[in-house]
Amino acid sequence: MKIIKFKSFKKKSGTLIPFSIKKNFPIKVKRIFLINGKKNFTRGEHAHKKCSQFLFPVLGKIKIECTSVEGKSKFFLNYDKKEGYLIKPKTWLKIKFLTKNAILLVACDKEYNFNDYIENYKDFLKIIRKKT
């Protein structure tokens, strides 16, 4: 997991957070999508074999729990911090929305491929425990 901090420009009328695909994103972006969820509901609960994902909170607070070969970690995404997180392949991701109408932007370095998903936690654990 890698933290990426973004500059923001504030005025009385609001805040601008510019994204430069070539400068700011730690991956070559091929797909972007938004996820929203009801407060205290969980999304994700899967991993990817090859796809890296960059997570950035658009609105609200979101708890992220990760499991990888490096162990378990937990962090909080908050729009006010202007930070994004890079999630590497073979990382089990659990997303919990902590505020009403929270929105998460996800940028991926791979196009959608159903076969890249690991949706069973026991299968995921077997994969990360294999020696490469």
Distance CA 125, CA 68 (A): 9
For 32-85, the pLDDT digits (tens) are: 999 988 898 899 999 999 999 999 999 999 999 999 999 999 999 998 887 889
| pTM of this structure | 0.82
Distance set, CA 114 to CA 48, 51, 108 (Å): 10, 11, 14
pLDDT of residue 118: 97
The H or E element containing residue 117 is strand 117-118
Could you tell me the residue ranges of all domains in the chain?
Answer: 2-129
Distance CA 75, CA 56 (A): 12
pLDDT of residue 24: 63
Distance CA 34, CA 104 (A): 6
Provide the pairing of β-strand 71-78 with 2-5: unpaired
For 79-106, the pLDDT digits (tens) are: 888 788 999 999 999 999 999 989 999 9
For the domain 2-129, what is the CATH superfamily, name and number? Jelly Rolls (2.60.120.10)
